């Protein structure tokens, strides 16, 4: 694999950024990877484990001379970070991000960036419930989707270059507009996370079932809810505040479906329940056939193999 960018700057050094750093080194996609994290502890850890050749105290220092800048901070922090780095960006540099909401990122980042800098928002659909610089691994993006939402000013050559970089890390790439992205993610990610948080909250408040019983007798359904609900609370707070309209739309549709199922259970309508569950089961089969999960008992969530293993 050949070098695609000379210098890559990672702003924020959590799970996604650390996985990018590992993947870039694994595939030889950049001559240098540098980074920035707000926490001194995170900066020290990133240097200790060799994520970056240099780790800077400020984002402004980190982006100097970078050909590719990847914003890996919560959506709510994008505005301030963009304002800080804008005067220090190299002419011709590409700025992208990994936020799971896109229109809010475009609104927050776009106005700050100078002319001559390519802004191409992105979102890797990959992750685990773990966070921090030690959580990343090089194969995180293999056969996972990485969505790009170019803006009107995004130059085709810059988009093609970023696409090749992402594909070289093993990801599948698709382009779409930001509003459509936010609606799709409200269905596939944001609302399911909200439901998972709610179900775990219900168990926490149900005093007739002790916490020890909830933990001890967790069947796979509740166990997977807790896996989802273990995700970074700062990130998910920002997601719901910045993708409000799409999430509320899908949540309203979910509530309507839930009322329909409640009525079928109350009325003993077994045919309706069987037909409904048969249709929804087909979606699960489609996900497995597309290689986005496995039907293994542990849902394929064993530790990822190390590159070359």
Per-residue pLDDT tens digits for 61-108: 999 999 999 999 999 999 999 999 999 999 999 999 999 999 999 999
Assign 1 a pLDDT band (cuts: 50, 70, 90).
Answer: low
Alpha helices in the chain (DSSP H): 15-27, 40-48, 59-63, 78-85, 103-109, 156-168, 178-185, 191-205, 211-216, 220-229, 233-242, 244-267, 270-289
CATH level 2 (architecture), domain 5-176: 3-Layer(aba) Sandwich (3.40)
Could you check whether 5-176 and 180-267 share the same CATH topology? Answer: no
CB 232 within 8 A of CB 77: no
pLDDT in tens, 218-242: 666 777 777 777 777 888 888 888 8
Task: Write the Ramachandran bin of 142: left for phi over 0, alpha for psi from -120 to 50, otherwise beta.
Answer: beta
Tokens linked to 205? 């408040």
When pLDDT is averaged across residues 271-284 and rounded to a whole number, the result is 85
Asked if residue 124 lies in contact with residue 98, where contact means CB atoms within 8 angstroms, the answer is yes
Is 169:70 a contact under the CB 8 Å cutoff?
Answer: no
User: Is 1.10.1300.10 the CATH number for 180-267?
Assistant: no
Give residue-wise pLDDT tens across range 174-199: 999 999 999 999 988 888 888 888 87
Mean pLDDT on 36-57: 95
Mean pLDDT of 54-65: 97
CB 182, CB 188: distance < 8 Å: no
- Indicate if the pLDDT at residue 301 is higher than 90: no
Report residue 254 as tokens. 């979910």
Residue ranges of the domains in the chain? 5-176, 180-267
Which range has the worst mean pLDDT, 5-9, 105-109, 211-215?
A: 211-215
pLDDT band of 303, cuts 50, 70, 90? very low
Q: Do residues 165 and 29 touch, judged by C-beta distance below 8 A? A: yes
Q: Would you tell me how many other CB atoms lie within 10 Å of the CB of residue 209?
A: 13
Residues above pLDDT 70, as percent of the chain? 90
Task: Tell me the pairing of strands 122-124 and 145-148.
Answer: antiparallel
User: What 3-state class would DSSP assign to 274?
Assistant: helix
Which of 63, 56, 140, 146 lies closest to 109 in space, CA to CA?
Answer: 63
Residue 299: what pLDDT? 47
List, for residues 135-158, the tens digit of each pLDDT value. Answer: 999 999 999 999 999 999 899 999
Contact 37, 4 (CB under 8 A): no
Say if residue 284 is exposed, middle or buried (CB neighbours under 10 Å; 0-12, 13-18, 19+): exposed
The Cβ of residue 11 has, within 10 Å, a number of other Cβ atoms equal to 30
Angle, to 10 degrees, between the axis of helix 220-229 and the axis of helix 191-205? 110
């Amino acid at each position: 694999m050949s070098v695609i960018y000379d210098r890559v700057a990672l702003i924020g050094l959590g799970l996604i950024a650390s996985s990018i750093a590992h993947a870039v080194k694994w595939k030889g996609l950049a001559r240098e990877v540098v980074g920035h994290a707000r926490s001194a502890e995170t900066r020290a850890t990133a240097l200790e484990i060799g994520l970056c050749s240099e780790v800077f105290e400020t984002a402004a220092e980190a982006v100097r001379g970078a050909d590719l800048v990847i914003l890996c901070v919560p959506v709510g922090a994008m505005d301030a970070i963009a304002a800080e780095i804008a005067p220090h960006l190299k002419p011709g540099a590409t700025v992208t991000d990994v936020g799971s909401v896109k229109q809010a990122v475009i609104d927050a980042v776009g106005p700050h960036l100078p002319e001559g800098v390519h802004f191409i928002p992105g979102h890797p659909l990959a992750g685990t419930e773990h966070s921090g610089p030690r959580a990343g691994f090089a194969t995180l993006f293999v056969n996972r989707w990485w969505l790009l939402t170019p803006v009107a000013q995004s130059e085709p050559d810059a988009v093609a270059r970023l696409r090749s970089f992402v594909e070289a890390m093993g990801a599948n790439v698709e382009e779409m507009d930001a509003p459509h992205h936010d609606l799709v993610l409200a269905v596939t990610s944001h609302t399911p996370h909200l439901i998972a948080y709610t179900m775990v909250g219900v168990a926490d408040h149900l005093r007739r079932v002790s916490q020890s019983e909830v933990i001890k007798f967790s069947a796979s359904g509740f166990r997977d809810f807790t896996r989802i609900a273990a995700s970074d609370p700062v990130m998910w707070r920002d997601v719901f505040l910045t993708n409000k309209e799409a999430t509320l739309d899908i949540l309203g549709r979910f509530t309507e479906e839930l009322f329909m199922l409640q009525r079928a259970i109350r009325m003993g309508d077994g045919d309706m329940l069987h037909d409904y569950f048969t249709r929804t089961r087909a979606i699960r089969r489609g996900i497995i056939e597309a290689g986005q999960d496995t039907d293994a008992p542990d849902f394929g969530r064993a530790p990822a193999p190390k590159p070359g293993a």
